Structures are given as structure tokens and as C-alpha cells.
Structure 1
Amino acid sequence: MSLELPLSDELAGVFARMSGLLLSEETVGSVLRLVTRLAQETFPDTTGAGLSVLDPGGARITAAATDQLVERADRVQYEMESGPCLVAWADRVVVRVDDLAHDTRWPRWTPFATELGLRASLSAPLVAGDTALGAMKVYGTRPGMYGAREESLLSMFATQAAVLVANAKSYADAHRVSAGLQASMRGRDRSTSPRES
């Protein structure tokens, strides 16, 4: 049985625009926020969506989220180093939780999530080449909200987001290398310039 995944014109248009962007930090942030908002709108009754990545210092952060509920659920996963989003990221697999109130995989995190009113979640890894860059997730307030169709759709969103994150990382790395080379050249110029007597 094949999964039919009809995309709206808006979603197809966003993916097309994203693939051609020349990115700066400002455009990456705004596009990632757009991706999370569209993910929330694409999955009926979804409470919120978010993207987790590493910051330049190597700490896990939520780079974009539709609301504070997502940020709180994510922050506790990072603090506890436990939760579906982190498993999706580390294992490079889609992780679906049909009912957080009865799931036993993350015994420290799920009670907190259910206190927030969350009952279902779906997380997909952000993978570019051989590198796992983070994860994208959606949360819902009803059990059983997500199935195979939603897994495929979220994987599509995560693929597009991974391209953006990888491009932003390349941009930042190139900027750091350029700044380092400029500083090195300035230092070399000072050390080789003739000294006044």
C-alpha cells in the first residue's frame, strides 16, 4: 500500500523557495520559524512544532518553535538527556509516541510532558550527508494523533530543514575561517613589517 502525500501549493512553494535561498543568520531563523509554523498547520490539531540543533558552543537548543510549550518540553529533554526528540536525533530514525501517558521509554520526561498537557509526539531527524544535525518534532494533546502518513510528511519537513541548517553551518564555518585568515594575515603583516629605529 503506498502512502499518498498530497502537498498543498503553499507547502510545495515553501520547499521550492527554501532550496534556492542564499542564507544569512537572519534568513535561516525566519525560514526555520516558517517551517515549524507550516508543520504545525499541516498536521491537524497539532499543538506545536519545533526544531532542535546544536548551538555554536555545542549545546542542544530549540532553534525554532511555534510556542513556549514546545520550548519547555524540549528544554526538559535537553536537561534530562532523555526523550523522543533526542532519540530521533541520535539514532536517525522517526520516533512516534502514540500516548505519552502510557509510554515507558522515557520515564523521567513523559510525566513532565503529560503535565504540560501533551499526549502524542512525532520526531524526525535532521540529516545532511553523514551528519545528524538535530531533529524536528510536533506535539499533540490527543493520543493517537500521528500515523504513517504523518511520519512521511514530517520526514519531508525535516529533510528541507536539514538542508537549511547544513547551509547555515557551512556559511558560519566559512565566515569563521575567513575571519581567522584575516587575523592571521594581519598578525603576519605586523611581524614582517620593518621596525623603526
Structure 2
Amino acid sequence: MCNPDVVGDEAVVAAAGPGEPAEDLTAVLSKIARTLEPEADVDRAVEHIVRAAAATVPGADEAGVSLLESGTMRSVAPSGDVVAHLDQLQHRLHEGPCVDAIHERPVYRTGDIGADPRWPRFGREAAASGVSSMLGFKLFTSTSTIGALNLYSWRADAFDDDAERIGELFAAHAAVTLAGSQGLAHLHVALRTRDTIGMAKGILMERHGVDADRAFALLVEASQHANVKLRDAAEWLVSRFRPAAGSPATGRPGDGH
């Protein structure tokens, strides 16, 4: 077992079992930390995390991530159908290690999910699906809660203190990765929105003979009149009136369409 007073890299060394050299485990975790790099595709980043978690944390047979988006949890890249079902069940019942990890303590562990009094409804369904043990970790940074990492095992009491310690280290790396991925995704959306609005303004300037400020004002008026976001109004205008390469314009605002 790990020494509770050991922290940082020493915790990883202490987590190595008798058949698993400490230096090998440290190397594996270090390699994973380097490969979990942020990318703009959040779902793909989660997929990498799920695969790495199932392969890294001792006792884990399956894994999944629940992202917290506008107060709602979304299951992303589950490693199998059972994981997808149980992740969704936790969301629907508002019960389970995933839910409590997000809203209560950062780590939850159970070795007999079917008999755990903390989650009676979810536990019965999980046991019926063949799952016996679970580990749930909050994915968070100093500024935000991103979601939860769920680890599943078909065996009872599959996760011990060492698995929990390694899982916490892994979850910390994963949270930083996902925070970076979400930031990149938001930046890409912002850049695409700016470009789309710019194209929509250009269309209005050309068709109505107005300057950039007036074109933007017309776009704002149109979005308010239609009760849609400015971005959506710009996307509609661009898709409706920008001609395909080598083709004439297919419609004009006054054509009655």
C-alpha cells in the first residue's frame, strides 16, 4: 500500500506493486502525461483519456468520462456499451460515483457496487450489468469543474489504495488536458464566428452599397427581428447568398425567397 505521507513522484514510486517496478510505472505515467495534450476536438481528447485510463489504473477493465456542460452531464467516448449505459443511468438517476464525484468529494470508490447503500438504484443496475467495482474521480482545475472520470471493473474489490492514488494522478493530468482542449475549442468557434460575420458584412456591403458599420447594424437588426443569435443570422446569410466557386449568386434579398 501507499504511504499516505508520500506525495508527488514519490507517491507514484510507492504505488508500484511487487511485480511492477517503480521506475516502470513512473515512466508510464510520465509518458501518458506528455501524450495527453490539449486539442481543439474535445471529444477526441476524451477518447484518448479513456483509453489511457483503462490501460493505466490497476484493476480497471472499462472507463468513461462524463463532461459537465451548462449544468448537464454528457457521456463521452465510453469504452463499451455497458459503460455508455451506466454513465447515462447515473446522469438520469442523479446517483452514482460519477455524480457524487462532481458535486461532493473528488474521489469515490466501491468494491461491491450492488450492495453499496450510497447508490441503491444505480448499484442494482450496475451489478446486473456485470460490474462489481467502481472508481469515480472529479475532473477539475483550480478554476472549474470539468466532469468526472469513471473506472469500472468486472471483479469485486478490484481497486485498492494504490489504484486510487494512481487514478488521482491520472485524473489531474486529464483535467488539465480537457481544460486546454475546451479553451482551444472555444477559441476556434470564436474565430469561425468572426470570419462568418465578416463575410456576412461583406455580402451586405456589396448588395446594399453601405459601409462596414452600417452592414453590421443591418446584421444586428436582422438577428433581433428573427430572434436568433448574431452568429446564426450571419451563417444563414453566408450560406444563402454566397455563390459557390465559379457560380453566380443564387438569390437576392428582394427575390421573394
TM-score, shorter chain, exceeding 0.5: yes
2:142 is matched with which residue: 111, 120, 129? 129
Larger radius of gyration: 2
Q: Which residue does 1:48 correspond to in 2?
A: 62
**Matches of 1:8 and 1:191 in 2, distance apart?**
61
Match runs of 1:47-196 below 5 Å: 47-55=61-69, 59-182=72-195, 186=201, 189=212, 191=214
The code of the aligned residue for 2:56 comes to T
Contact 2:101 2:138 survives alignment (8 Å): yes
With 119-128 and 178-187 compared, the bigger mean Cα shift is at: 178-187
Contact 1:123 1:136 survives alignment (8 Å): yes
Contact 2:113 2:132 survives alignment (8 Å): yes
User: Any idea what SS the aligned residue of 1:168 has?
Assistant: helix
The code of the aligned residue for 2:90 comes to Q
How far the C-alpha of 1:137 sits from its partner, in A, is 1.5
1:16 is matched with which residue: 26, 34, 45? 34
Counting matched residue pairs gives 188
After superposition, the Cα gap between the structure-2 partners of 1:110 and 1:70, relative to the gap in structure 1 and judged at 3 Å, is: same
Contact 2:58 2:159 survives alignment (8 Å): no
More strand by share: 1
After superposition, the Cα gap between the structure-2 partners of 1:45 and 1:156, relative to the gap in structure 1 and judged at 3 Å, is: closer
How far the C-alpha of 1:109 sits from its partner, in A, is 0.9
Q: Identity of aligned pairs, percent?
A: 24
With 118-127 and 183-192 compared, the bigger mean Cα shift is at: 183-192
The code of the aligned residue for 2:122 comes to W
How far the C-alpha of 1:35 sits from its partner, in A, is 2.4
Q: TM-score under structure 1 normalisation?
A: 0.82
User: Any idea what SS the aligned residue of 1:150 has?
Assistant: helix
Residue 34 (structure 1) aligned with residue 57 (structure 2): no
User: Any idea what SS the aligned residue of 1:171 has?
Assistant: helix
Runs of 4+ in 1 over 6 A off after TM superposition: none
**Matches of 2:144 and 2:90 in 1, distance apart?**
21
**Matches of 1:103 and 1:140 in 2, distance apart?**
15
How much is the aligned-residue C-alpha RMSD, in angstroms?
A: 2.5
After superposition, the Cα gap between the structure-2 partners of 1:154 and 1:44, relative to the gap in structure 1 and judged at 3 Å, is: closer
Q: TM-score under structure 2 normalisation?
A: 0.65
Which one has more relative contact order, counting CA pairs under 8 Å at least 6 apart? 1
